[in-house]
Amino acid sequence: MLELGQVIATTGVLQAVPSSSIYAALQRHSCGDWGDVCRDDWKQNDEALLREERILSSYYAPDGTKFWIITERDRSCTTVLLPEEY
């Protein structure tokens, strides 16, 4: 299981994505389900998990809004945000 550290959500994602979708995505992210990323990015995340590097997952809210979850390499912080907020 991936350590998330402090979880932060941006104002934009909180306004655009239901909290239930954010919580479900955080659960998936912490269990190694990287969501809607390509095969190469999935593999890179799996390797990053072992090498303690940054991990980026991508998910969709029920209305189709795309959002990301990024866990920093030192596992101190996980941020939930819209791609345009990156």
pTM, whole model, 2 decimals?
A: 0.97
Three-state DSSP state, 3: coil
4-28 mean pLDDT: 98
What pLDDT score was predicted for residue 35? 98
Q: Between 68 and 1, where is the model more confident?
A: 68
State how many domains the chain has: 1
Query: Is the Cβ–Cβ distance between 43 and 35 less than 8 Å?
Result: no
CB-CB contact of 81 with 12 (8 Å): yes
Q: Does some domain include residue 1? A: no
Q: Which domain holds residue 47?
A: 6-85
Q: What pLDDT digit, counting tens, does each position of 41-72 carry?
A: 999 999 999 999 999 999 999 999 999 999 99
DSSP 36: S
In this predicted model, what pLDDT tens digit does every residue of 69-86 receive, in sequence order? 999 999 999 999 999 999
- Which are the contacts of 27, defined by CB distance < 8 A and separation ≥ 6? none
